Amino acid sequence: MQRTDAGAACFPLAELRHAVDAGITRWLDQGGAGPGPLAAPQRWALSPPGKFLRPLVLLASAGAVGGRYDAVMPAAVGVELAHVATLVHDDIIDGDDLRRGRDAAHRKFGTAHGLLAADALFFALFQQLGACRRSGVPDRSVLDAVEALGAAGQQTARGVAQEVALSGGLREVAGRADGGIGAYVETARLKSASLFRAACHVGALLGGGSPEQAGVLTAYGEALGIAFQIRDDLLPYAADGDGDSGSGDGGQRAGKPVCSDLRNRRPALPVLLAYRLGGRAERAALAELFDGPADARTRRRQLARLTRLAGDTGALRAAQCMARAYVDRCHRALAPVPPGPDRDRLARLADEVAESAYGPAPGGGHRGP
């Protein structure tokens, strides 16, 4: 699958998603997971597939600087493998037993095998980067990509640690001078945006782009990652809080139970904004709901009340506007990129994040046994 100016239009986003999915299936079928006890949890964690946003921005970034999709596809597959590894770790840290509508990997196969399967997926990313050399990517570009992704991995870990540190009390976090919004955005920049940013950077590097082009696309990736995190934190307020996810935590958003943040007493953006925008009565109600002990059944009722408070205070609308503002940053960052199908794809991916801010992303099929 080569990208050329004439042929790129033949690969809309849906077909690029299919190509990434086929690449992951090929990696699995050719023994990428390896024999032994880790193959099953890795295959399980990779199913059903997500929307492949990170590999898509890598491919489009490479194409935007004149690179070939087939040359960088191993790296795109590797980025998705690493992303799924972070999800396995997140589920263990958060105590979430469901992911994408079924048992999380650690719930299905045990914590030890879940952790080790995820660790192996992280290392598979670097193996996939090495495979790009066989597609004609210069060794120096591959080494620069390894450095960029290594830095992204460290930033992601710091972001998760910062998120854990912010858990445990709404008044403490929201009582900061900026209402905790600055800490939230910084956590999103580290935890979520780092892999988006690195995917764009790596796509430009492997595609043969200049440092200036890589910088432009990296700025796009960071803004996209923050917008995506805001969108993710809005999804619980659009999901069916009366649904039964099987874990007692209400329905499912795109990946995890909708009450996960509430159970972990983790004030995400809609709660912080509701506390900031609400009056004394709303703040007291939010603190009581968010900080008080509750069982699973009570949490579902709490989420419904939180949703009403977030709507009544204007917090949901304010969070949506923040997401849109970061999507606008994405479009401004793309301004120096030469017009073409790949710039259009990057712009469309940003718009998809904005458009889905009030609803879960569509799911996908299972990847076999």
pLDDT tens per residue, range 247-263: 334 444 445 565 777 77
Residue 335: half-sphere exposure toward Cβ, Cα within 13 Å: 6
Number of structural domains the chain divides into: 1
Do residues 128 and 88 touch, judged by C-beta distance below 8 A? no
Q: What is the CATH number of the domain that holds 323?
A: 1.10.600.10
Q: CA geometry: angle at 72 spanning 39 and 27, to 5°? A: 15
Give me the pLDDT at residue 100, please. Answer: 86
In a domain, 324, yes or no: yes
Give me the pLDDT at residue 288, please. Answer: 86
The whole-chain average pLDDT of the chain stands at 87
In a domain, 287, yes or no: yes
In a domain, 138, yes or no: yes
How does residue 106 score in pLDDT terms, banded at 50, 70 and 90? very high
pTM of the model: 0.89
Do residues 340 and 64 touch, judged by C-beta distance below 8 A? yes
Range of the domain at 38: 8-355
In a domain, 93, yes or no: yes
Q: Within its chain, how far is the Cα of 180 from the centroid?
A: 21
Give me the pLDDT at residue 2, please. Answer: 45
Give me the pLDDT at residue 31, please. Answer: 82
Mean pLDDT of 97-116: 94
Q: State how far the Cα of 305 lies from the Cα of 238, in Å rounded to an integer.
A: 13
Mean pLDDT of 291-316: 84
Give me the pLDDT at residue 253, please. Answer: 46
Token pair recorded at residue 173? 């976090």
In a domain, 3, yes or no: no
